[in-house]
Structure 1
């Protein structure tokens, strides 16, 4: 049983040779193999076509192939001794000479070594028949090549040591039957043992076992009816095709395990009825050897077709699972701009779903690779992989090591190394396939984007911090001379008015005073931005009557409104009160009124105050140049503008500060506008009745929407 341990613990490697395995356990398994070989030899007698004496399906060939594919090569000599002893000891019980038994035992051993040795050489990792190449290897090694020595030595022993001499024709008929029997036993029985003893290549579905039993029962009934007919004729000879939907359905629905089980069920019933001279293969006009070969070829084709279909379906699901996990990994990396938080989550996605081990390293400023995530790998294995990453010059590379087959990939952006990752499959003896390399490179690309985005975010945050510090320092430095200049102007104002200064001098003095006041407001705005950047916008709440506040602000802007030729129309519901910061609300309304004057010179401005259901509403409506719909949300951003600064000036802070002031009071602000049709800003604040005021009937039967005020 293979266990995956996260963190600093190591993973029990799949498929490794168990050096510490007790010898008693090895010899116990060899004894079990000896008994199973004898039992299957006896069971194979049910697949004998009288008067022939040899079985049409030799089940021990599938048993030995499966056992040797699962066992470590260092254990093969013990198991070969068990196979040789089983064949040598059982053959004399059937009245055959000892010499024949020894040659048959040798043939069985050679068949097993050839089949298992070639498949282990061609394949990598546990054989589960979840990939088409595993089925092809079974066909070539187990079905075609490995029966050659056993059939040759077996029939040679019969020809040399048998009680009667064989003709050439009988020898070749016997050789072909032996060859097909051994190959069919490997093709039918080995997949059954290997698929049921191996971990599932895909996650188990609910009710899958019930579905498997039901489908096998239906297949058995159909096969029994198909091959159990006494004397089929005509179109009834094609009845074996009725079994194909059930066999193929088992392959597609239940994978290699279902395909192997279905092939074995079909083969058992087909051979049993055919040996009893029933069904399409039992009554065909042919000699007995031809009937045997016909059913053997039918079963071999059916079994291999079913396995290859199941392997292709399983391989397709594996590719889909890889793509899904790759997409999920990219989504996890995009959730946060902190790779050291997201990379461990990616590791838990991939291990043990696709890989047995995962490690990723990030490059530090001093050139060191520092682990960012590790799962399923020991510290020693992680250290070896990290050293290989440092020497890696190409985007990815496959390697074999003590930890198994692994793929190393560089995490790089525009040729600049950011780190590296390793995907490991323990117990594999072949280098990873190119598909795994492509997966590793895609994952490394996702990691590179995440690391680069985090790096850019850090640079941006540093730049913003430097900018905010500069704004705060500059505003404080500017505040002092502006304050001094304002005081000096105030001191000069009285002598100029009392003296003999003419109107031109007074006009120039007032112009200078207005610009100093404007400069003071800009400095205060910069200071407020600094306060907002640090998360502090202090409010000094007091009882405020909103209509009175609007009148005060309009009075303060009267001179500017007069110069711009903007008439102000007030519609104020009385006694709209709340606990607000008077100075901050005056500042917010001043920004809105200043924008209305700036962008609507010579056009009227309308201000409305109302209250509905505990909410105070202030509407500022102008007839200016308007704002495009796509810029309505953007204009509330810091330093954002909807018009060129060369034409209208300003820092782009007024609406930003207005929204923050309103939100600090627990309110909202919205804007509606169309180019050339003016703009409407609606402020909503939580109201609280004060004193003994009882509100009268509202001028509106229901709260008017923000865009419904008359123009």
Structure 2
């Protein structure tokens, strides 16, 4: 998966024009070299800060290697021109230009080889490698040649001193200027809120004032040596509040002020009673330590912020994956979450018959997303087997759960963005692991849904098939009962027939319950709504339960007040029957209370038994299908009565709840909107159910 319209280099619009790069590099190096020649301590001719060396390194580091030859030639011509213009002999100009080019090329090659392209200073490791390879190792490529030219053609007294002077000035040039250039770019726009802009202005003013006071002094005295450390708080302020760019800019400003004032004979380092070279070395060492400390702190904070962002991303991914079991929607949201915040393109491929088919795709550019879909579908026949290592721009992480391959998570970044590092690989693996677990959960949920649908279909078919013979059996039992009464049969036969009739009625009720479950699942529960008195309806049902209550040894206590509601009489009778049947079943020998009275806008009907009650662990699921508060070994039934009753009450615009009651036991509260005060939402629910 490639990212369309990738750009290999950063920089502004002019820099992205290939034909202009050598010219811009030539002009930039020429101008900075002229500045560097003005920062030479006279009459010794000691260079304090070779500014263009940091520019040359940054130019090559931010460019593709294919452009290095022309850029190097432009840099060499600029170096040779400036050196010649300042009266140096041609061999020196050639040697110094070649030395500067070798340093820039060597440093850029080492940095790109170690840190990839483009080089970013987003972590402590990146910054330390830049300091070692770009600041310390790069000058070693050119300093020997430059020092030799100084000795041979300029009569320098010592090769070692010339070597050290060249290396230190170039090192300061790299560490002071290159970080600023590497931190700038269109992918890092300078956008600060108004409060931060004010803070930046205060910081700049304080740093300028302090640096000017510290390095602009001409008063001699040993007590001046602690003064340079006054700039540290401002440099650390810049690192803490404005990141790598702020720290690099503060370091560049301090280095510039310190070197300019030192050349003019001002500042605490000039006034020391030491030799000129020793004073220069102390100044350079101080500035290098300032830059290293400030930028190391900024890199550490950047690394910490990146880690916090990764953790926040992991949390958002986990929240997203746990929010829904809809695979297509969830994977689509996942890819949109990762693009463009973390990658420029993202895709999830799922394994289907030894091939990978795209399930979700996102691209930072909308017009490229359709092309990416097409390309991934074309490549679906070729299984993905390669996992890319850190430092590459395309990352493929396998999705696997319980040893089963589910697919791949693909992430891609353009050439303009930084490559994936080890932390990115770890984050991608964590996201892939969570995604795989979510996919496995979705698969299990889908299989469970299919199994539940198959079960419901079976129960519906079985209930319909049982309904016909049960109806015939019920009719035959009624006919047999009439014959027994007509011919004066023995009481024993009549009692046996009553037992059989009750069991047949129970079977018929179970079948009707199964059919109700099927109707509810399909949304076909019909209500024939009429005005009725809920209290009178409950009393009638309780009267029909008299024999069952007596047989169970349960005393029925009625406390009913008139309550006018709109509802389906048969369905509401079914609710009251289910609740009373549960009370008789689970609380034999205990009193059963049936109470009802208006409460605000609702008619409230309570069925309270003196049984063991519902365990706390079962309360949350007591109204689910096939839910049971106790083992089926001791109590019969399918676990559907409360589920059906709850759905019937909900269809009436009310609700059925399990509530706490004095004395323990189970207390079920049915709430239905009163007729005179039925709220609009309840009426809408009733009309919708009855339509």
Same fold (TM over 0.5): yes
Q: Could you say which residue in structure 1 is the equivalent of 2:658?
A: 671
Q: Judge conservation of contact 1:68–1:116 (CA < 8 Å) in 2.
A: yes
Partners of 2:265 and 2:9 in 1: CA distance: 49
What is the CA distance between 1:27 and its match in structure 2?
4.9
SS at match of 2:622: helix
- How far is the alpha carbon of 1:204 from its aligned partner? 6.1
Query: TM (normalized to structure 2)?
Result: 0.90
- How far off its partner does 1:260 sit? 1.1
Q: Secondary structure at the match of 1:372?
A: strand
Aligned position for 1:641: 628
Tell whether 2:88 aligns with 1:96: yes
* CA shift in 2, pair 1:420/1:625, >3 Å: same
Of 22, 36, 44, which aligns to 1:30?
22
Change (3 A) 1:139 1:596: closer
TM-superposed deviation, 1:456: 0.8
Q: What are the residue-to-residue correspondences of 1:101-180 with 2, within 5 Å?
A: 101-162=93-154, 165-168=155-158, 171-180=159-168
Alpha-carbon distance between aligned partners in 1 of 2:139 and 2:195, rounded to the nearest angstrom:
39
| Equivalent of 1:357 in 338, 341, 345 | 345
Instruction: Give the match for residue 259 of structure 1.
Output: 247
SS in 2 for 1:601: coil
TM-score, normalised on structure 1? 0.87
Q: Distance in 2 between matches of 1:329 and 1:249?
A: 34
Is structure 2 residue 384 aligned with structure 1 residue 390?
yes
Partners of 1:353 and 1:621 lie apart in 2 by 57
Give the Cα separation in 2 of the matches to 1:173 and 1:668: 93
Q: 1:614 to 1:211 in 2, by over 3 A?
A: closer
* Cα separation, 1, equivalents of 2:658 and 2:23: 87
Q: Which moved more, 1:495-504 or 1:8-17?
A: 8-17
Asked whether 1:186 is paired with 2:180, we answer: no
Aligned to 1:43: 35
Give 1:385 deviation, angstroms.
8.0
SS of structure 2 residue aligned to 1:646: coil
Any idea what SS the aligned residue of 1:57 has? Answer: coil
- Structure 1 residue 56 corresponds to structure 2 residue 48: yes
- Tell me if the contact between 1:624 and 1:676 (Cα under 8 Å) persists in the aligned partners: no
Distance 1:281 1:384, change over 3 A: farther
Partner of 1:331: 319
Alpha-carbon offset, residue 78 of structure 1: 1.8
Corresponding residue SS for 2:41: coil
Query: Which of these residues, 329, 346, 354, is aligned with residue 334 of structure 2?
Result: 346
Q: Residue 591 of structure 1 corresponds to which residue in structure 2?
A: 578
Partner of 1:615: 602
Q: Distance in 2 between matches of 1:385 and 1:424?
A: 16
Aligned 8 A contact 1:389 1:409 in 2: no
Q: Per the alignment, in what secondary structure is the counterpart of residue 618 of structure 1? A: strand
Measure, in 1, the Cα distance between the counterparts of 2:15 and 2:255.
Answer: 38
Aligned equivalent of 1:439, options 427, 431, 446: 427
Give the corresponding residue for 1:3: none
Task: Give CA deviations for 1:604-646 in whole Å, capped at 9, x if unaligned.
Answer: 3222232244422222222233333333343222222212222
What is the rounded CA distance, in whole Å, between the counterparts of 2:38 and 2:517 in structure 1? 92
In the alignment, the residues of structure 2 paired with residue 261 and residue 431 of structure 1 have an alpha-carbon distance, to the nearest angstrom, of 25
Q: Is the 8 A contact 2:99 2:142 kept in 1?
A: yes
Q: 2: CA distance between counterparts of 1:16 and 1:173?
A: 38
CA distance in 2, matches of 1:600, 1:648: 11
State the alpha-carbon separation in 2 of the partners of residues 140 and 13 from structure 1.
30
Distance 1:107 1:564, change over 3 A: closer
Distance 2:354 2:611 in 1: 59
- Which residue number corresponds to residue 565 of structure 2? 578
Q: Is the 8 A contact 1:617 1:684 kept in 2?
A: yes
Matched, 1:240 2:228: yes
Alignment match of 1:12 (pick from 5, 19, 32)? 5
In structure 1, the gaps of 5 or more residues are: 1-7, 691-711
Aligned pair in 2 of structure 1 residues 434, 142: CA closer, same or farther (>3 Å)? closer
Residue of 442, 452, 464 corresponding to 2:452: 464
Partner residue, 1:74: 66
Count of residues paired in the alignment? 669
SS at match of 2:389: strand
Query: Could you tell me how far 1:114 is from its partner in structure 2?
Result: 1.8
* CA shift for structure 1 position 230: 2.2
- 2: CA distance between counterparts of 1:290 and 1:303? 20
Contact (CA 8 Å) 1:343, 1:373: kept in 2 or not? Answer: yes
Taking structure 1 as reference, are residues 77 and 460 closer, same or farther at Cα in structure 2, changes over 3 Å only?
same
Aligned to 2:683: none
Describe how 1:473-488 pairs up with structure 2 within 5 A: 473-488=461-476
1:537 maps to 2:525: yes
Change beyond 3 A, Cα 1:646–1:273: same
Cα offset for 1:306? Answer: 1.7
Q: Determine if contact 1:227/1:280 at 8 Å carries over to the other structure.
A: yes
Given candidates 177, 199, 218, the residue that maps to 1:230 is 218
Q: Which residue does 1:302 correspond to in 2?
A: 290
Instruction: Structure 2: give runs of 5+ residues left out of the alignment.
Output: 678-691
RMSD, aligned CA: 3.0
Give the Cα separation in 2 of the matches to 1:190 and 1:623.
83
CA displacement at 1:290 relative to structure 2: 0.9
Q: Distance in 2 between matches of 1:563 and 1:139?
A: 93
| 2-structure distance, mates of 1:179, 1:633 | 75
